Amino acid sequence: MVLRDARFSMQPAILPVGLPAKLAAVLFNSPDLPDDVRSEFERIIGEGKELHAALGDEDVVRSIRRSPTSAQILLGMDPPEHARIRRILAGYFTVRRVRAYREKINSVVSSCLDELEEMDSPQDLVENFALPVSSMSICELLGAPYGDRCKFEDLASVGIDPESSVDDLMSVRQDFYDYATSLIEGGRASSDGILYALANEGQLTTSEQLGVAEQLFVAGHHTSANMLALAVCTLLEDRRRWDYLRADFSTIGGAVEELLRYLTIFQVGAFTRTALCEVEINDIVIKSGDPVTVSLLAANHDPDQFDQPSELNLGRSASGHLAFGHGVHQCLGQHLARLELEVALSGLVSRFPTLRLAVPFDDIAFFGGDQMIYGVRKLPVVWGGGDV
């Protein structure tokens, strides 16, 4: 209800209320911001106050919107700006368009599986499968050379690490924008990729193209890699789950939907809104300007929606889950994410039927908490030695 209600906005907060101060400092530290605006942000951040309270000034909001380092990221926009840019991008992520990517995704997964087969087990499946599949896929989609993957991998890893410093974040972010500029304006992007098409269509400004590039690179890379690794970890936790997929490959599409529902890797940070007026929901009055945080995980484990929601049931219909969000900010690349997961899991189950965890499940290190995305740091696996 909240995610589709226009009375709840990403503005004037611009970014989720409660975002760590260091991230806010980086996102607002743009050369496009007037000195007095930057000083005001530094004061607010230094005092630990809520950001949204200071962003009601239209001049301040307008300055931030002009900044390529924050304003043009779709997650921080409201209509009509959001609707205009999303409408331009939506054509590249339709079900029909995504189906055309299947051959490329198949090739990417096959190549990564070939390399994995050449290795001796045990191996870390995050480093040696999930991340390469995700990186190669996003490079194919956007038209970036795979050899440049460190540019957006570094941005993603530093951006979600709560231990990274402001200087670290500023450095990798500037490196990424320099890199993205070279792709967009320097003609380095492949002619069959989205970035090349966007640059030549001329519907977006350079600043908007940079913001889109950041969101597509980072979101498309890190979320897919984490979801794939978590899915494999969850399937291997109970051998019956892995064997269920092995017995009938036609079940993988439905299993992907259930895994998306069950795991719901996005935590609350990306789904905070600001009430634009007084709103009443279930007898609770939310005042204008109040932040509202929505839990997709709670929604996906709602017993009124899903029978025994705390149980992973690969045979259930998980239709209606909110793993990709809802409303105008629903994940633009959800069809591509589904395809990538289905192809990767199908290939892995087929090539490595005896795959199993190399360490006890309780010894696997997960991350989450103060990070926006839930994931697994490393996933040691072994294979071979006959059936299990």
The total of other beta-carbon atoms located within 10 Å of residue 229's CB is: 25
Asked if residue 387 belongs to a domain, the reply is no
Distances (CA, A) of 22 to 25, 26, 53, 158: 5, 6, 18, 12
Note whether 216 and 361 are within 8 A (CB): no
Query: Does residue 17 have a pLDDT over 70?
Result: no
Q: What is the pLDDT of residues 329-341, one digit of tens each?
A: 888 889 999 999 9
Asked if residue 122 belongs to a domain, the reply is yes
- As a whole number of angstroms, the distance between CA 107 and CA 343 comes to 10
CATH of the domain at 170: 1.10.630.10
Asked if residue 105 belongs to a domain, the reply is yes
- Residue 202, pLDDT score: 80
Q: What is the pLDDT of residues 231-290, one digit of tens each?
A: 999 999 999 999 999 999 999 999 999 999 999 988 655 567 888 889 998 899 998 878
Asked if residue 2 belongs to a domain, the reply is no
What's the DSSP call for residue 122?
Answer: P
- As a whole number of angstroms, the distance between CA 319 and CA 246 comes to 23
Asked if residue 218 belongs to a domain, the reply is yes
Q: Where is pLDDT greater, at 156 or 261?
A: 261
Q: Would you list the DSSP string of 295-316?
A: -HHHHHT-TTTSSSTTS--TTS
Distances (CA, A) of 5 to 17, 273, 301, 329: 18, 10, 22, 11
**Average predicted confidence (pLDDT) for the chain:** 80
- Residue 16, pLDDT score: 40
- Residue 40, pLDDT score: 57
Q: Which domain holds residue 316?
A: 8-382
- For residue 106, name the pLDDT band (cuts at 50, 70, 90): very high
Asked if residue 338 belongs to a domain, the reply is yes
- For residue 180, name the pLDDT band (cuts at 50, 70, 90): confident
Q: Report the share of the chain in percent with pLDDT over 90.
A: 36
Name the nearest CA neighbour of 137 among 231, 221, 228.
Answer: 221
What is the number of domains present in the chain? 1
Asked if residue 1 belongs to a domain, the reply is no
- Residue 24, pLDDT score: 46
Asked if residue 236 belongs to a domain, the reply is yes
Torsion sign across C-alpha atoms 90, 8, 370, 178: positive
Q: What is the pLDDT of residues 364-376, one digit of tens each?
A: 998 876 666 788 9
Question: Per-residue pLDDT averaged across 111-128, rounded?
Answer: 95
